[in-house]
Amino acid sequence: MAGPANLRVSTKRLRVTRKAVEALLLSGLEWTTVLHFHFGLLSSDGRQERYTDVMIFPIMDADGQPRKRWIRHDLVGVTQQWPTYREVWSIGEAATYWFTPESGQLDVIVCDTFQIGWRLWQLLRSHEVSDRFCLITRSATDAVPEEWLSPHFWHP
């Protein structure tokens, strides 16, 4: 699991960057969503990558817990020096990102993007049918998680 200190530091950096907060709220995301999914900001001046204020968040597992693996996401109007050929990036193989914990729901909604998943999560959490649906997406836009290829993933 992602450590509480790492989650606090990245979220704090986002919280004090007014332009980032405004961009997220203007995109239709609620502050509850930002906190629930542990959004943060990261900059890198490394040898291989240089970027400023890319949005980061940990992969959420089937139990609803943040994992150690982080996803980087272009925050339009805020992120600088981010490669134009990618919107989302993560180290490693494609993985399942769980907007809702898996708890025996009969219906799974596979969201095409993180933004769609977060907005749908916001919408469903206040409705009686929210326990019926499991919302997921993939950590990489160009690959399918290996587990999705198994029928057991879809019919446990």
CATH of domain 4-154: 3.90.980
So where are the chain's domains?
4-154
Q: Is 68 in contact with 1 (CB distance < 8 Å)? A: yes
Distances (CA, A) of 68 to 4, 60, 65, 84: 10, 9, 10, 26
Q: Is 155 in contact with 134 (CB distance < 8 Å)? A: no
pTM for the whole structure = 0.88
The phi, psi pair for 110, rounded to 5°, reads -95, 115
What pLDDT score does 45 carry?
72
Distances (CA, A) of 20 to 31, 35, 110, 121: 12, 14, 27, 21
| pLDDT by position in tens, the chain (length 156) | 666 677 777 788 899 999 999 999 999 999 999 999 999 998 877 666 777 888 999 999 999 999 988 998 888 889 888 776 677 888 889 999 999 998 888 889 999 999 999 999 999 988 877 788 899 999 988 899 999 999 988 876
What pLDDT score does 148 carry?
96
What pLDDT score does 4 carry?
67
